[in-house]
Structure 1
């Protein structure tokens, strides 16, 4: 009997109120819009357990083509909970971390899209400069700039 094995991580999903604002933010970060669609019907609800649903999605992809972020805006049923402003020590999914070539430039560009620094930019040894920001709708995003041999 052959054992099943993990092939890859396909994407991370994030639910947002404004799909356009989230797409603009993540495009500014450097992800590319792979496509947009409306997903609806009972078939989709059978996967999620929500019944008949209608969701607008946008699939964003990293420049290397290996990482994807699926942004979703639920039209029906209505959103029932909001975890966007949970602190970093809350249970559940925490944040998505992105590696960038220049953290200062990235922060400056993302501030034009409403990003706010959570704490401060710190340097971890000679390996990385790191920070957390709140992006569109308060989403927690991590940024890492590799230094030295990590570049």
Structure 2
């Protein structure tokens, strides 16, 4: 039997232009700011393949402490591609889904931070109410409320 060395998924990374706006959005959603730092130097570029890089990061953590978002703002090198407004059927990263206790209240709070509903909140077989929204900079996330 093959040994499984996987322990957990540590985080999902999202590159943004405005770290402050994006942190505020995810704070409103209910994540906590675990830490913020600037990571720079040749050693970091050896991991990413970008050479001598400088990137400001904010680590956000879910209330249960098990999941994290690493929000990154690249200072050097500059961002060279933009996939934020890709449709939901585009190849590559799609979205992160969050479970919430009250989808309507969550939407009301996120609308104040510029969130836009992609289409509508749907009821899936009376098990979930769920939707996709675009947050700051067009970041696509899903939110779902389990029913009963």
TM-score (norm 2): 0.98
Aligned to 1:5: 5
Q: Runs of at least 4 residues of structure 1 off by over 4 A?
A: none
Equivalent residues, number: 148
Unaligned runs of 5+ in 2: none
RMSD: 1.1
Tell me the distance in 2 between the aligned counterparts of 1:47 and 1:72: 15
- Alignment deviations for residues 86-143 of structure 1 (CA, whole Å, 9 cap, x no partner): 0000000100000000000000000000000000000001210000000010000100
Aligned to 1:56: 56
State how 1:1-151 maps to structure 2 within 5 Å.
3-148=3-148
Q: State the alpha-carbon separation in 2 of the partners of residues 54 and 147 from structure 1.
A: 44
How many angstroms does 1:5 deviate by?
Answer: 1.9
The two structures have a TM-score, normalised by structure 1, of: 0.96
In 2, distance between residues paired with 1:55 and 1:147? 40
Mean alpha-carbon deviation: is it higher for 3-12 or for 116-125? 3-12
Rounded to whole Å, the distance in 1 between the matches of 2:89 and 2:34 is: 32
Give, in whole Å, the separation in 1 of the partners of 2:54 and 2:146. 40
What's the offset of the Cα at 1:2? 7.2
Query: Gapped runs of 5+ residues in structure 1?
Result: none
